[in-house]
Amino acid sequence: MRAHMITYGCQMNEYDTHLVQSQLVSLGADMVESVDEADFVLINTCAVRGKPVEKVRTVLGELRKQKGQRKLVVGMMGCLAQLEEGQQIARKFEVDVLLGPGSLLDIGKALESNERFWGLQFKDELHEHIPPPPAGKLQAHLTIMRGCDHHCTYCIVPTTRGPQVSRSPDDILRELDMQLAAGVQEVTLLGQNVNAYGVDGGAKLAGYPSFADLLRMVGKSGVRRIKFTTSHPMNFTEDVAAAMAETPAVCEFVHLPVQSGSDRVLRRMAREYNREKYLRHIAEIRKHLPSAVLFTDIIVGFPGETEEDFQETLSLYDEVGYDSAYMFIYSPRPGTPSYKHFQDLPRELKTERLQRLIAKQKDWATRKNAEKLGSVQEVLIRGDAHSEGFLEGHTRGNHPTIVPKALGATGAGIYQVRIEQTSPHMLSGRILGSDGQPLPELPRFTPEAAAVMGGLPMA
């Protein structure tokens, strides 16, 4: 069997794709690079917003045409597969295999079946399964929990991924050891709400560390860099910030979604915190990590959001001074309370507000990145950039960075880089040798690199 996977959505979906790919390989499948080469195509779907759902519809439409021309098995997995909306789509486009996020280990059964297979049950063994480490990569994701016990009114995750289940610390450390043995140097701990690790259904699990203590444990493993996502402000504690400061391997990067700066909107979202409490967390982070890089998520145009509410979001952005933000127009998702009970705002209004927020984000990113001009940053180089002669990677603070290839540094690795140019979206610089001097470059920085940086003006 020749199999090809297409992945949409979050880092958890990327982890799940790797898990299923490892299952397919163990079944004897050959993973191929394109749909045209494959006789089994599996789409890992996202249901958080409407746009990735439309992408899935488009791809399934194309695959249905191909099924009429050649022998092809089509599968769909992930969050959309768990919903009635996704199951209707699967019927319409004649999907053969449907696997919810809790039934990924059923892929073998599904392919052995001679008829349509739909696996939508949550299986406990999934939480104990340890996939093999990624081959030849310096970065890896490591799931520490699945599901979520919060019920934000806009979010479909509790429906698609179920209640929170924390993985045992022993399984987490075993998987980490395997990743390190395979050469991984940066690991990202994943969960819908990593701060709540070890407290499932509101009850502390016997023998499980807090998330802060888990960070300390992982930091003793020998891994070079540790990141984590995503955090819910309701469960964030000062001890997490303290653990980050105490553990050199933990990167000074915090992704703390706020969603809105308005207390009224936060209540309608059922976020369980207010602006004041959120800002206290920011103060705690900066107390322990003065140089922390702060990212956030913001939803624009939530039902009922007024211009005054939106101005409070803009003022919060200024008060925190985020390094960057993931910004989204509110997308009503069937099955969520906000879809059932709230009236959506006009798309034109939401789009106009998003453009103002993007301008705010670009202004702050320009200033924040310009502060790094002349500094030396630790950069994990992943490999070749789109522009010939250049490498791309990211800093401990998750800033995309490009560098010219240099003698003694032509491939993946962790290097010290002196930053020489910045834009709102990227840094660029030169790799330094052990003596702190730039390594000889081939080629030097050229206008071609500006195209890689989006053609944006340099600071």
- CA atoms of 414 and 295, how far apart (whole Å): 23
Q: Please name which of 83, 113, 84, 80 lies closest in space to residue 97, comparing C-alpha atoms.
A: 113
- CA atoms of 334 and 339, how far apart (whole Å): 6
Q: Please name which of 326, 312, 331, 321 lies closest in space to residue 358, comparing C-alpha atoms.
A: 326
Structure tokens at 426: 């990227």
- CA atoms of 38 and 48, how far apart (whole Å): 28
Question: Is 251 flagged in the annotation as binding?
Answer: no
65: Cβ contacts below 8 Å, ≥ 6 apart: none
Q: Decide: residue 121, CB within 10 A, 0-12 exposed, 13-18 middle, 19+ buried.
A: exposed
Structure tokens at 354: 């998003």
Residue ranges of the alpha helices (H) in 113-237?
125-128, 157-161, 169-181, 211-219
DSSP codes of every residue in 422-435: E-SS-EEEEEB-TT
Classified as helix, coil or strand, 413 is strand
Structure tokens at 265: 């909107």
* Position 357, amino acid: L
292: Cβ contacts below 8 Å, ≥ 6 apart: 252, 253, 254, 285, 286
172: Cβ contacts below 8 Å, ≥ 6 apart: 142, 144, 214, 218
What are the phi and psi torsion angles at 308 (to 5°)? -65, -45
* Residues making up the binding site for [4Fe-4S] cluster: 10, 46, 79, 148, 152, 155
* Residues making up the binding site: 10, 46, 79, 148, 152, 155
